[in-house]
Amino acid sequence: MSDSLILKEIKEYYWDQPVPFLVEQLPRLRNGRALDLAMGEGRNAVYLAEQGFTVDAVDLSEKAVRKGMALAHGRGVSINGIVADLDHYRIPPDRYDLICCFFFLARPLFSEIAKGLRPGGALVYQSVTTEELKINPTFRREWCLEQNELLHAFRDLRILVYHESSLRGTTSHSALASLLAIRPDSSEPIGR
């Protein structure tokens, strides 16, 4: 994603609008069943439902999930909101055509995410890296991806897009890692 698009992401955070990186990748995604990890108030899950996906969307916050379901209802679609702690969540294997995660570090789930994709299914992930600490020292390191972390964690997938950005001197949440990766179309399950 270009720096100008990332700046757009930072400056134009709308709680009910999807992240631009997801919108940008949509033409490369196969429709079907999607999982949104740490859905927040549902901006991305609802967008995916509007595009025809059947969406499971998980968040720890019951209030956020309720807001997400209400947003879906208001926009004439439905999502399956799930209140759960992702630190202890099990993703059913071979289940999803799309798994996405935005602005959340789902490190304990990385291997389950890869296994949860159907062959040909896609992972779209964008979150903050440790570079953020140079821009915003009060940001918490335990929320940050390491440099290249997504690249290594999902190396068994076919990586179509990976980049990291750092826009020094701008506002917070500007050091982002962005990934689009596809589970290879083979009969071999991943990591088992």
Ligand X SMILES: C[S@@+](CC[C@H](N)C(=O)[O-])C[C@H]1O[C@@H](n2cnc3c(N)ncnc32)[C@H](O)[C@@H]1O
> Where on the chain is the footprint of ligand X (CB under 6 A)?
19, 38-40, 43-44, 59-61, 64, 85-87, 102-104
> Could you tell me the smallest distance in angstroms from the CB atom of residue 64 to ligand X?
5
CA distance 131 to 172: 11
Q: Which helix (H) or strand (E) holds 25?
A: helix 20-25
Listed residue (122, 117, 124, 80) closest to 100, CA to CA:
124
Contact criterion met (CB below 8 Å) for 29 and 6: no
CA distance 63 to 72: 14
Residue 120 or 170 with smaller CB distance to ligand X: 170
> Could you tell me the smallest distance in angstroms from the CB atom of residue 46 to ligand X?
11
> Could you tell me the smallest distance in angstroms from the CB atom of residue 34 to ligand X?
13
Residue 33 or 173 with smaller CB distance to ligand X: 173
Residue 82 or 156 with smaller CB distance to ligand X: 82
CA distance 172 to 134: 10
Residue 48 or 190 with smaller CB distance to ligand X: 48
> Could you tell me the smallest distance in angstroms from the CB atom of residue 94 to ligand X?
22
